[in-house]
Structure 1
Amino acid sequence: MKAEPAAQRRLLDLATIDTELTRVAHRRRTLPELAEIVEVEKGLQARRDAVVKVETTLGDLDRDTRRLETEIEQVRAREERDRKLLDAGTVGAKQTVDLQHELTSLARRRGVLEDELLEVMERHEAVEMDVAYARGQLAEAEQKLAEAQGRRDAVLADLDVVETRRSDERKRLASELPGELVSLYERIRANKGAGAALLRARRCEACRLELDRIAIAELRQALSDDVVRCPECGVILVRTGESGL
């Protein structure tokens, strides 16, 4: 293939752009913020589970409190009714004895229920503290996630700017080069990862290998508009005054 030396040298500009675009793509995939976000999200789910657990326990205690308060109120209402009957003096001796026994039983029952209620209220107070702590831990995890996402978004936005600018430059540059030359460059880059490289001091800057004497002799015989390739890695070798030929 033939191509003007100036066009071949401009392949180096295209290769430089491609290298930067590759770095951008790699950076986009390997941002430390991405791994941080994954870890924070794992911790965040654990914090959410913890909040649900203690809130569920608190809800159960609320129900127990309401149940015990209702039962205590019912016992007190029964006690009040029995006392009114005794105070009215309208019941017989046997019923009076029965009412007194019932009042004694009701008092015991109310005492048991009140002790249970006190225990539940103490547990409720402790669980409320657990809920406050769990919610605080969740809020901290959410804040940490938001900060990591913010850093990620800021870096990605910068990368988007670089990628867009360099992609536009690449498109413009490729359109100015011979189509056949660009096609060859693209095929080589797809297979080798690089399409063109400078030959500097008899060394290919793509594979970093120094060419042997036979290869150097062949390159010396090639015309300036011949498109030559590295015998080691296959990329297009761009020859300049630095090539050592």
Structure 2
Amino acid sequence: MEEAIKILKALGDETRIEILRLISEKTMSAKGIASHLKITEAAVSQQIKILKESELIIGYKIGYHIIYDLNEKKLKHSIKFIENIIDNDKTNINVPSALRCTKSCKHLKCVNNNKFKEESIMKVCFPVKSNEGIKSVPYGHFGTAPLFVVCNLENDEVTTVGNGDLGHEHGSCNPIKALSGEAVDAVVVGGIGAGAINKLNSMGIKVYKASEGNIEENLVSFKNNELKEFPSNHLCSHDGCSH
């Protein structure tokens, strides 16, 4: 609840809404935002601080600049939170209070458990070298994987997206660009640098170490909670890489 309140407060300002609108169209630095909104960089920095504290935006360094982008996952969760309030209110109309479930109800079919059900819906991303569907073998490094296979555990749908950040400079992987805007909940990969892990974690995406075998076999391990999550300070050893 506290997190939701913080997000709603962050959205309660016209300038911050304008900043979100701008970076939803294109990633941008504070200087670029100030130029578009015709306000000072100091004013932009104040608003960015609030948006970062609420995790509505994320910043990553490119050269000497910090570029800001939307944290789409956090925004979607905020929308779902509001939708749950509306849905619960409608469902409880004319139902005696004594018969209504509590907010902590864990019944899978309960209207108060929408968030619980939604959080269990997972889209898992596997970096791969070639597209063979769930028979593909997870690639050894996130940033240099040519493709990503995304598995929706709710409906078993499998999609493939190209790496939109292939060829990036060493140590400057941009996961948002790499995933080409694809929203995922988890990444399963052979190797990955700490920078990419932290950027993915800041978006609410967990990163797991792939086991031997193909995607199908790794999905079984993932569902059984057998895959280990990468620590945020992990050093990638792919081809001598240490970022």
With the length of structure 2 as denominator, give the TM-score of the two structures. Answer: 0.22
Higher helix share: 1
Higher strand share: 2
The structure showing larger relative contact order (alpha-carbon pairs under 8 Å, at least 6 residues apart) is 1
Larger radius of gyration: 1
With the length of structure 1 as denominator, give the TM-score of the two structures. Answer: 0.22
